[in-house]
A and B are shown apart, each in its own frame.
Chain A
């Protein structure tokens, strides 16, 4: 079990540039979540996939944010025309299908830290 993997771990970009983050969930986890965490705050939900279907995206922060999970495995989160306010940690989490052994938790990656200059 290699855990949830996120890439890159750190990204520094200039305002106005586009950035893309990748998340590889734990194998066999069919649900995948993106969160944003700003300094001094808890994670804030952005979007959610079940397999390749994006079931909730109304809480993406603006139309500059988009996410995909084309084959139901890895996912990407793209931020277009970055702004300084986008600087944050972007966390990915996954969970398995509901079954008796699952205790309700999400499994988090280490996050991708974005700094917009």
Chain B
């Protein structure tokens, strides 16, 4: 079964600095999607960035970028120039077909 592991329950970063959140996953499939979702307190989950497994190029969305290592089954999220509004729970997710599986999340704190 596919599993997603986020080994950092909590992370902290100084405003304007860079932070990297880790994610590993387990799958025997070669075609799948990977996502990072952000969940602010008492708010809905929103997509931060996504990566298709067949693409070798790492996805980038403004201050957010990923380091996708398919062979190592690793999918880390880098947040550059951190802002106070980045404080939230971040979930790594794996999807193949209808099945989307999530890690346990990393709580990111941004210090002013």
Contact = CB atoms under 8 A, between A and B. Distances in A.
Contact of B50 (A48, A104, A109, A111): A104
A28 interface: no
Interface string B38-61: 000011111100101000000000
How big is chain A's contact interface, by range? 20 to 34
Interface stretch (B11-19, B67-75, B77-85, B100-108): B100-108
A105 B35 contact: yes
Interface stretch (A16-24, A38-46, A62-70, A79-87): A38-46
B64 interface: no
A108 B99 contact: no
A105 B98 contact: no
A12 interface: no
Given A41-B104, A43-B91, A110-B43, A104 B98 contact: no
Given A31-B98, A109-B44, A42 B105 contact: yes
SS class of chain B's interface: helix, strand, loop or mixed? strand
Chain B interface size, under 10 / 10 to 19 / 20 to 34 / 35 or more: 20 to 34
A64 B100 CA distance: 23
Given A42-B103, A42-B104, A105-B35, A3 B98 contact: no
Contacts of B47: 103, 105
Contact of A4 (B44, B91, B103): B44
Contacts of A3: 44
Given A42-B101, A48-B98, A106-B95, 17 more contacts: A3-B44, A42-B93, A42-B102, A42-B103, A42-B104, A43-B102, A44-B102, A56-B98, A91-B45, A104-B33, A104-B50, A105-B35, A108-B45, A108-B46, A110-B43, A110-B44, A111-B44
22 contacts: A4-B44, A33-B98, A33-B100, A40-B9, A40-B104, A42-B93, A42-B101, A42-B102, A42-B103, A43-B45, A43-B102, A45-B99, A45-B101, A91-B45, A103-B50, A104-B52, A108-B45, A108-B46, A109-B44, A110-B43, A110-B44, A111-B44
